[in-house]
């Protein structure tokens, strides 16, 4: 797989994700509630966008399947990581949510301003870790299965 094919495949995953994420989130939020529904919707969209791209690019992936799928997955995960790292800055109530959850779990604890900063940074790291771990697993599986669904013509 050439670098141009890799870039086009990752861009296709991103575009497909952008097109299907909101409808899936709406369906899952209405069925499961706001927090679990949103999370399930995002991760189902990650899997399905990789599955569809795997199907579309099956011919290119067939030659060196695992290596190509791994490369695409890592590049896609890197893009998702950049997005995930920016979510706390883009969401106004992120810090408030982090503090509220900490205080609810530790009602008698008091933290200094520096400790709050470190706690929020650690919370962001955990958020990124979980997001990237699930993205790597779901995207690899989706790309692999998608590429298996369409056998190349001999």
Contacts of 47 by beta carbon, 8 Å cutoff, 6+ apart: 138, 139, 141, 142
Element (H, E) at 21: helix 3-32
Is 126 within the bounds of a domain? yes
The per-residue pLDDT of the chain, averaged, comes to 92
Q: Let me know if residue 96 belongs to a domain.
A: yes
Asked whether residue 66 is assigned to any structural domain, the reply reads yes
Please spell the DSSP secondary structure of 38-71, one letter per residue: HHHHHHHHHHHHHHHHHHHTHHHHHTTHHHHHHH
Residue range of the domain that includes 136? 3-149
**How many C-beta atoms surround the C-beta of residue 71 within 10 A?**
16
Q: Dump pLDDT digits (tens) for 89-144.
A: 899 999 899 999 999 999 998 899 999 999 999 999 999 999 999 999 999 999 99
Look at residues 53, 52, 63 and name the one whose alpha carbon lies nearest to residue 8. 53
Q: How many domains does the chain have?
A: 1
Confidence (pLDDT) at 153: 66
Tokens of 80: 């998702």
Phi/psi at 107 (nearest 5 deg)?
Answer: -60, -30
* 62 assigned to some structural domain: yes
| Residue in the structure block whose two tokens are 């990789």 | 50
Tell me the CA end-to-end span of the chain in Å, nearest whole number: 18
CA 41 to CA 32: how far, in whole Å?
10
Domain membership of residue 25 (yes or no) is yes
| Contacts of range 114-120, beta carbons closer than 8 Å, 24 or more positions apart | 120/88, 120/94, 120/95
For residue 83, tell me if it sits in a domain: yes
pLDDT at 1 over 80: no
Question: pTM for this one?
Answer: 0.88
Give residue-wise pLDDT tens across range 46-88: 999 999 999 999 888 877 778 889 999 999 999 999 999 999 9
Q: What is the pLDDT of residues 30-49, one digit of tens each?
A: 999 999 999 999 999 999 99
**Within a domain: 144:** yes
């Amino acid at each position: 797989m050439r670098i141009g094919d890799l870039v086009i495949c990752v861009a296709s995953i991103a575009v497909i994700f952008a097109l299907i994420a909101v409808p899936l989130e709406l369906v899952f939020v209405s069925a499961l509630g706001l927090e679990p529904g949103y999370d399930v919707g995002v991760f189902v969209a990650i899997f399905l966008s990789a599955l569809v791209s795997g199907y579309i690019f099956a011919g290119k992936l067939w030659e060196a399947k695992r290596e190509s799928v791994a490369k695409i997955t890592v590049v896609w995960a890197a893009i998702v990581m950049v997005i995930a790292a920016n979510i706390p800055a883009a969401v106004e109530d992120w810090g408030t949510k982090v503090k509220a959850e900490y205080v609810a779990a530790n009602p008698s604890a008091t933290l200094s301003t520096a400790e709050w900063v470190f706690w929020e940074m650690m919370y962001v790291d955990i958020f990124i870790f979980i997001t990237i771990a699930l993205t790597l697993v779901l995207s690899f599986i989706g790309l692999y299965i998608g590429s298996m669904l369409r056998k190349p013509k001999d």
